[in-house]
């Protein structure tokens, strides 16, 4: 055997002897946070919500400001069909099981407003206004909403 190949063969043998965990590519991944386990959103909180943009039909970018749940300046919310009742954070309307709602995207740790939901119809009705020039009277950089 060639002496130059011996170190490589020993390395390959060492690597193959490690115990590797089996990977099941077909099994569903467990998320760090599941929406079903979140407590219901406290509707007594009065957030100031601005719809910033609508990049796709299934996503909306929202600015959320609230003393209880925090400030999220540019937060992605996703459309889904809810499996529990709640209250629309934007309009205060009741949300029933099976309604189309937007909720904060959950990646990693849950944000303070993770349990909040907004009815899709309210987002559709509250399209952001086109930006005005800063020198125009009544300049408002975003279309702001204050529920209730």
Domain count, the chain: 1
Interval 69-84 mean pLDDT: 92
Q: How far is CA 13 from CA 4, 10, 16, 106, in A?
A: 15, 5, 5, 42
Task: With a cut of 70, say whether residue 121 has pLDDT above it.
Answer: yes
Task: With a cut of 70, say whether residue 84 has pLDDT above it.
Answer: yes
Neighbour count for residue 101 (Cβ, 10 Å): 24
Residue 99 resides in a domain: yes
Work out the pLDDT band at 148, boundaries 50, 70, 90.
very low
Residue 91 resides in a domain: yes
Question: Residue by residue, what is the 3-state secondary structure of 63-103?
Answer: EEEECCCEEEEEEEEEEEECCCCEEECCCCCEECCCCEEEE
Record the tokens describing residue 79, joined without a space: 């459309």
Residue 109 resides in a domain: yes
pLDDT tens track for 24-33: 556 665 555 5
Look at residues 70, 69, 63 and name the one whose alpha carbon lies nearest to residue 49.
63
Residue 124 resides in a domain: yes
Look at residues 60, 70, 74, 77 and name the one whose alpha carbon lies nearest to residue 111.
70
Percent of the chain with pLDDT over 70: 66
How confident is the prediction for the chain on average, in pLDDT? 78
Domain housing 111: 42-131
Record the tokens describing residue 108, joined without a space: 């990693």
């Amino acid at each position: 055997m060639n002496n130059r190949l011996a170190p490589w063969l020993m390395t390959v043998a060492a690597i193959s002897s490690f115990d590797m965990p089996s990977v099941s590519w077909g099994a569903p991944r467990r998320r760090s946070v599941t929406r079903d386990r979140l407590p219901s959103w406290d509707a007594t909180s009065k957030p100031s919500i601005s719809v910033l943009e609508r990049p796709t039909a299934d996503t909306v970018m929202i600015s959320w400001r609230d003393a209880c749940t925090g400030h999220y300046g540019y937060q992605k919310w996703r459309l889904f069909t809810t499996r529990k009742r709640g209250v629309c954070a934007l309009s205060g309307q009741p949300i029933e099981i099976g309604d189309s709602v937007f909720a904060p995207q959950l990646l990693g740790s849950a944000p303070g407003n993770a349990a909040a939901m907004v009815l899709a119809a309210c987002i559709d009705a509250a399209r952001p206004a086109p930006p005005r020039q800063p020198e125009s009277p009544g300049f408002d950089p975003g279309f702001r909403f204050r529920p209730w």
